[in-house]
Amino acid sequence: MPSSRPAPKDLASLSPDALFDELVPPPELRALVARALAEDLGAEGDVTGEAMVPATAAGRGVVRARAAGVVCGVRVAMEVLAQAAPGCRASVHAPDASRVQAGDAVLSLEGPMRGLLAAERTMLNFMGHLSGISTLTARFAELVAGTRAQVLDTRKTVPGLRMLAKHAVRCGGGTNHRIGLFDAMLVKDNHVAGLEPAAMAAAVAEAASRARAAHALRFVEVECDSVEQFRAIAGLPAGTVDYALLDNMDPPHLAECVRIRDAHAPRMLLEASGGVRIDSVRAIAEAGVDRISIGALTHSAPALDVALDVEAP
């Protein structure tokens, strides 16, 4: 019997701004930024700024990209400024999801100099990390353009920053996988260790029925380490499994799974995962899969170089 709970929102249908509001509501954003500022300012505050800058000094600054990329983190930066530099006025030149070139202005700032300097590093840390995720996602998305494949993130995120990372992936043109363990069922190899393919499929069918009755799930997905495992999963009744995750398969094996899916489970979507690289993603996409999940988007993206250039008071 299906769960009576409301179905989770379709995150893919939300714009990046709407997704941010859904994942990071204002109280959570304020708390996250407060923790980050406390980490930098401690109990004493900015002792250098206090010693070097008069309390009444005002200044101007521009946050610029020092490399080409896709911007993300502007809304977080605005909250950093609100907490660390009250009274600062900001003009946004490149909102989240904007493409920038080296030297482009992202934000123009004007306000209390001590506050600008206190906010600087926390603001840039957020923007550099999140823009790096967006930039790497955009590169992968461009490489699979023209195929049916979407680029997805994973749960391999910095603890405490997952919701911002999910937003950053969307800003780069990617699609979000499940948010956590709570919103979708994903049967991994450790859940079915030691089971032969037929027994694995039977166990999945029973567990999926229980999970759907107890929870409002976004989807049910099963990891398959071999074509034989996938063949067993594809033989389950339609609607039992929404997605099959084809783990660490090469393009010929992926293409074989696509043929099996098309013949026996046309409603099932196929997701490739495992060690996906810039130089391999196109061949994986051309095998005919629907989704490619890439942990590197959030665990290995280089930060985009952004800097604050401050004018003298």
CA separation for the pair 155, 180 (Å, rounded): 7
List the catalytic residue out of 156, 162, 212, 282: 156
Enter the tokens of residue 155: 């749960």
CA separation for the pair 153, 198 (Å, rounded): 30
Gyration radius of the chain over CA positions:
23
155 included as an active-site residue: no
The residues pairing with 153 across neighbouring beta strands, listed in sequence order, are none
List the catalytic residue out of 46, 223, 271, 290: 223
Q: Identify which of 164, 161, 170, 167 has the alpha carbon closest to the alpha carbon of residue 141.
A: 170
CA separation for the pair 250, 274 (Å, rounded): 10
Q: Contacts for 14-20 with beta carbons within 8 Å, 24 or more apart? A: 16/96, 16/97, 16/167, 16/170, 16/171, 17/96, 19/166, 19/167, 19/170, 19/176, 20/75, 20/96, 20/167
188 included as an active-site residue: yes
List the catalytic residue out of 99, 121, 155, 162: 121
121 included as an active-site residue: yes
Enter the tokens of residue 146: 């023209």
The DSSP H or E segment spanning 110 is strand 105-112
Identify the three-state secondary structure at position 77. helix
List the catalytic residue out of 5, 35, 89, 188: 188
The catalytic site residues sit at 121, 156, 188, 223, 247
